[in-house]
């Protein structure tokens, strides 16, 4: 069990650029979640997948955000036309089943300049 991994760990980009983050869940986990954490706050739910199906999206996930999990394994989160307000830590988590505990990755810290 290698845990949840995320890549990159840090990303600095200029406003208006597109960025893509990757998450590799624990291998046998069916559910994958994305959260966003800003400074001094707890993580906020963005979206989750059951295998390759995206089952729920938060209102925080604007049209500039898109997430995929094409083969039910790794997932990508893309942010188009980044804004300074997108600067945050993006956390990925996975769980074996619905209702079981979520295991978090180390996060990707995005800084938009």
Partner 1 sequence: AQSVTQPDIHITVSEGASLELRCNYSYGATPYLFWYVQSPGQGLQLLLKYFSGDTLVQGIKGFEAEFKRSQSSFNLRKPSVHWSDAAEYFCAVGAGQTGANNLFFGTGTRLTVIP
Where on the chain is the footprint of partner 1 (CB under 8 A)?
Answer: 4, 33, 35, 40-45, 48, 55-56, 58, 91, 93, 95, 98-107
Checking 99-106 for CB contacts under 8 A at 24+ apart, the result is: 102/31, 102/33, 103/3, 103/4, 103/26, 103/29, 104/4, 105/3, 105/4, 105/5, 105/6, 105/23, 106/5, 106/6, 106/9
**Least spacing, CB of residue 48 vs partner 1, in Å:** 6
34 or 79, CB closer to partner 1?
A: 34
Question: Measured from the CB of residue 72, what is the shortest distance to partner 1 in angstroms?
Answer: 17
The residue (of 17 and 41) whose beta carbon lies closer to partner 1 is 41
At its nearest, how many Å lie between partner 1 and the CB of residue 81? 26
């Amino acid at each position: 069990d290698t845990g949840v991994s995320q890549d990159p760990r840090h990303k600095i980009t200029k406003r208006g650029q597109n960025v893509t983050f990757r998450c590799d869940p624990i291998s046998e986990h069916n559910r994958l979640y994305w959260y966003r954490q800003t400074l001094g706050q707890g993580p906020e739910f963005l979206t989750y997948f059951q295998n390759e199906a995206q089952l729920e999206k938060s209102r925080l996930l604007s049209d500039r955000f898109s997430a995929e999990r094409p083969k039910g394994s790794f997932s990508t989160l893309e942010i188009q036309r980044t804004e300074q307000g997108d600067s945050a830590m993006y956390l990925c988590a996975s769980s074996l089943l619905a209702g079981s505990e979520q295991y978090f990755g180390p996060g990707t810290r995005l800084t938009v300049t």
